[in-house]
Structure 1
Amino acid sequence: MNETKKIGNYRYRILALLMFATTINYFDRSIIGVLAPTLEKMFGWSNNDYANIMISFKVAYALGMLSMGGLIDRLGTKKGYTLSIAIWSVFGMMHALVRPGFSVIGFAAARFGLGFGESGNFPAAIKTTAEWFPKKDRAYATGLFNAATSIGAIAAPFVVAWIVEEDGTNWQIPFLITGALSALWVFLWFRMYKKPEVHPKVSKEELDYIQSDSEAENEEKLPWKSVLDKRQTWAFALAKVTDAVWWFYLFWGAKFLADTFQVDIHNIALPFFVIYILADGGSILGGYLSGAFIKKGWAINKARKVTLLICALIILPVCFVAVTENKWVAIILIGIAAAGHQAWSANIFTLVSDVFPKKATASVVGIGGMVGAVAGILADKALGSVLDTAGNSGYFWAFTIAGSCYLIILGLVHLLMPKMTPLDENLNPVKE
Structure 2
Amino acid sequence: MSTTKKIGNYRYRILALLMFATTINYFDRSIIGVMAPTLEKMFGWTNADYANIMISFKVAYAIGMLSMGGLIDKLGTKKGYILSIGLWSIFGMLHAAVRPAFSVVGFAAARFGLGFGESGNFPAAIKTTAEWFPKKDRAFATGLFNAATSIGAIAAPFVVGWIVHENGKNWQIPFLITGALSALWVFLWLRTYKKPEVHPGVSKEELSYIQSDSGKAESEDKLPWKSVLGKRQTWAFALAKVTDAVWWFYLFWGAKFLAETFDVNIKNIALPFFVIYILADGGSILGGYLSGVFIRKGWSVNKARKITLLICGLIILPVAYVAITDSKWLAICLIGLGAAGHQAWSANIFTLASDVFPKKATASVVGIGGMVGAVAGIVADFALGSVLDQAGNTGYFWAFLIAGSCYLIILGLVHLIMPKMTPLDENLNLIKE
Report the AA paired with residue 142 of structure 1: T
Report the AA paired with residue 83 of structure 1: L
Q: Structure 1, residues 226-253: CA drift from partner, whole Å, max 9, x if none? A: 0001000000000000000000000000
- Separation in 1 of the partners of 2:325 and 2:211? 50
Report the AA paired with residue 404 of structure 1: S
**RMSD, matched Cα:** 0.4
Q: Who is 1:36 aligned against?
A: 36
- Separation in 2 of the partners of 1:280 and 1:7? 28
Equivalent runs, 1:369-380 vs 2, <5 Å: 369-380=370-381
Q: Who is 2:261 aligned against?
A: 260
Report the AA paired with residue 235 of structure 2: W
Q: Who is 2:391 aligned against?
A: 390
Q: Structure 1, residues 125-144: CA drift from partner, whole Å, max 9, x if none? A: 00000000000000000000
Structure 1 residues 171 and 216: alpha-carbon distance in aligned structure 2, compared to 1, 3 A threshold: farther
Q: Who is 2:182 aligned against?
A: 182
- Separation in 2 of the partners of 1:216 and 1:400? 46
Q: Who is 1:411 aligned against?
A: 412
- Separation in 2 of the partners of 1:25 and 1:429? 35
- Separation in 1 of the partners of 2:426 and 2:56? 36
Q: Who is 2:168 aligned against?
A: 168
* TM-score normalised by structure 2 residue count: 1.00
Cα offset, 1:30, TM superposition: 0.1
Equivalent runs, 1:214-363 vs 2, <5 Å: 214=214, 215-363=216-364
**Structure 1 contact 139–288 (Cα < 8 Å) conserved:** yes
SS at 1:237's partner residue?
helix
Q: Structure 1, residues 95-133: CA drift from partner, whole Å, max 9, x if none? A: 000000000000000000000000000000000000000
- Separation in 2 of the partners of 1:328 and 1:100? 35
Cα offset, 1:87, TM superposition: 0.1
Equivalent runs, 1:64-103 vs 2, <5 Å: 64-103=64-103
SS at 1:391's partner residue?
helix
SS at 2:273's partner residue?
helix
Q: Structure 1, residues 321-344: CA drift from partner, whole Å, max 9, x if none? A: 000000000000000000000000
- Separation in 2 of the partners of 1:52 and 1:218? 44
* TM-score normalised by structure 1 residue count: 1.00
Q: Who is 1:112 aligned against?
A: 112
- Separation in 1 of the partners of 2:408 and 2:204? 43
Q: Structure 1, residues 293-342: CA drift from partner, whole Å, max 9, x if none? A: 00000000000000000000000000000000000000000000000000
- Separation in 2 of the partners of 1:358 and 1:270? 40
Report the AA paired with residue 244 of structure 1: A
- Separation in 1 of the partners of 2:190 and 2:344? 30
1:19 paired with 2:30, answer: no
Report the AA paired with residue 309 of structure 1: L
- Separation in 2 of the partners of 1:28 and 1:3? 38
SS at 2:104's partner residue?
helix
**Structure 1 contact 197–216 (Cα < 8 Å) conserved:** no
- Separation in 1 of the partners of 2:274 and 2:432? 47
- Separation in 2 of the partners of 1:62 and 1:291? 30
Cα offset, 1:217, TM superposition: 3.3
- Separation in 1 of the partners of 2:218 and 2:43? 51
Cα offset, 1:216, TM superposition: 3.6
Report the AA paired with residue 11 of structure 1: R
Q: How many residues align?
A: 432
Cα offset, 1:205, TM superposition: 0.2
Q: Who is 1:198 aligned against?
A: 198
**Structure 1 contact 282–342 (Cα < 8 Å) conserved:** yes
- Separation in 2 of the partners of 1:189 and 1:24? 14
Report the AA paired with residue 285 of structure 2: I
**Structure 1 contact 131–216 (Cα < 8 Å) conserved:** no
- Separation in 2 of the partners of 1:299 and 1:125? 24
Cα offset, 1:218, TM superposition: 2.0
Question: What are structure 1's unaligned runs of at least 5 residues?
Answer: none
- Separation in 2 of the partners of 1:135 and 1:216? 15
**Structure 1 contact 258–264 (Cα < 8 Å) conserved:** yes
**Structure 1 contact 30–250 (Cα < 8 Å) conserved:** yes
Q: Who is 1:402 aligned against?
A: 403
SS at 1:209's partner residue?
helix
- Separation in 2 of the partners of 1:300 and 1:266? 45
Question: What are structure 2's unaligned runs of at least 5 residues?
Answer: none
- Separation in 2 of the partners of 1:96 and 1:185? 22
Report the AA paired with residue 58 of structure 2: K
Q: Which consecutive aligned stretches of 4+ in structure 1 deviate over 6 angstroms post-superposition?
A: none
**Structure 1 contact 236–352 (Cα < 8 Å) conserved:** yes
Q: Structure 1, residues 195-247: CA drift from partner, whole Å, max 9, x if none? A: 00000110000000000000443210000000001000000000000000000
